[in-house]
Amino acid sequence: MSSPELIAAIQKNDKSAKRVAFETYYGKLAAIASRYCKNQQQAEEILNLGFNACFNKLMQQRNSVGEMDAFFEKQFILECIAFVKSIRSEYYVSSTVHATDAATSKNYNLFDNNELIDFNHLETEVFIKALQQLVPSQRLVFNLHVIDGYTLAESAVLLESSEATAKSNLEKARYNFQKTIEKNIKHVKA
């Protein structure tokens, strides 16, 4: 079934078309959910909610939705953001870590050359665990900007925050992310 045919069938509430879409996009959306959520339980919960929201949004669209892959990814990311922000007891936890630490001369900029961590050969499980350990506001902006390719301004709009807040959270996220990976690598080598 081609993408336009699949979209048309889902818009008519065809259960077999929804099943095809679910089976087609489950892996990709499960990976996104595990990056945006703090644990597997939350990721499984958002998978169900996210698929339903994507199907409902698709059924409401009467004009062209463009490419199915892009539609599902964008809508699912929006659902992940809403889900994480809805857990208010977790979302409004602030980090006490500052992005720059005067006591150390280490550079925690992920885009600079780093001798300790080779991000190209980092195990996916270590990467996901480090992401899940970030506080929610940092995890969201890190995912949006670094992984999903949104600009800092676009990320701020999606997170309903100022660009300065998004930038601050991104700097803290980069610092915390790299520190967590370093700790995990040292733990594995010991």
Could you give all domains of the chain from N- to C-terminal order, each with its CATH number?
3-90 (1.10.1740.10), 93-189 (1.10.10.10)
Contact indicator for 148, 28 with CB cutoff of 8 Å: no
Q: pLDDT in tens for each of the 190 residues of the chain?
A: 788 888 889 989 999 999 999 999 999 999 999 999 999 999 999 999 999 999 999 988 877 777 888 999 999 999 999 999 888 766 555 544 444 444 444 444 544 444 456 666 778 888 899 999 999 999 999 999 999 999 999 999 999 999 999 999 999 999 999 888 888 776 655 5
* pTM metric for this prediction: 0.79
